[in-house]
Amino acid sequence: MHKPFYKMTPNESKFLRVSESYTSVQGEGSHSGLPCHFIRTGVCDIRCSWCDTPQALSSGDFWSKEKILETIPAWIRLVQITGGEPLIQKASVIELSTILAAEPLGKKVLLETGGHRSLEGIPESVHIVMDIKLPGSGEDNHAFEKNFQYLKRSDEIKFVIKDQQDFEKTVSWIREYKLDKICNLLLSPVWGSVKLEKLVTWMLEESIDARIQTQLHKIIWGADATGV
């Protein structure tokens, strides 16, 4: 158990609305397969058609900083803040990320966000994984390009692809904004909608420099498992 190294204030009992918190392995992106502790925030302000975490759309209880830190095993190096949509609670996410990255904890913090809320002010130490929503999600009408200025070369943009139309839109985004020069790119099929071999074929035919990924946690525990 971590002893708090800051002074608690009365309002800190409602520091962050959390849907669930658990230790597993990272299932996606460049950290896939590594032990990781997940802090899933409650509430999301968009509704993607293929959302696989509906339990976080409007649920969650408020946790204190102390309670959040106590759930993270000391040996775990990676901590991912996800959702829901974490940036609805941006100030708390920034503060928590700063605490986690600093000594004595020294964690590497991953932030997964839908991309429709501003990344301005996110600490340099945070590894950002930002979505660009495609037509198949029903949430492609956001100005995702406004966040490109806040991404580091080591960060990641994720495209969740439902069909060939989504892939063609992905190609359009990459080429118009030269996204392969901004950060790393992830192409992820909507589970059960696009076969990996088809997505690989499309990517190679279009000469797209990106990483094909699948959701490792669903392969291990099944598509409907939660808390993993």
Q: What is the pLDDT of residue 54?
A: 79
Number of domains in the chain: 1
| pLDDT tens for the chain, residues 1 to 228 | 233 333 334 456 789 999 999 999 998 899 999 999 999 999 999 999 988 877 888 879 999 999 999 999 999 999 999 999 999 999 999 999 999 999 999 999 999 999 999 999 999 999 999 999 999 999 999 999 999 999 999 999 999 999 999 999 999 999 999 999 999 999 999 978 899 999 999 999 999 999 999 867 667 756 565 666
Q: Looking at the domain assignment, is residue 105 inside a domain?
A: yes
Which token pair is 114? 């839908």
Q: Is residue 87 part of a domain?
A: yes
Q: What predicted TM-score, i.e. pTM, was given to this entire model?
A: 0.89
Is 227 among the domain residues?
A: no
Does any domain span residue 3? no
Whichever domain contains 86, its CATH number is: 3.20.20.70
pLDDT at 13: 72
pLDDT at 52: 80
CB crowding 48-75: b at 16 or more within 10 Å, else e: bebbebebbbebbebbbbbbbbebbeee
| Alpha-carbon span 188 to 53, nearest angstrom | 16
Q: Whose CA is closest to 2, among 76, 66, 81?
A: 66
| Structural domain for 193, as ranges | 10-221
Residues in CB range of 200: below 8 A, 6 or more apart: 212
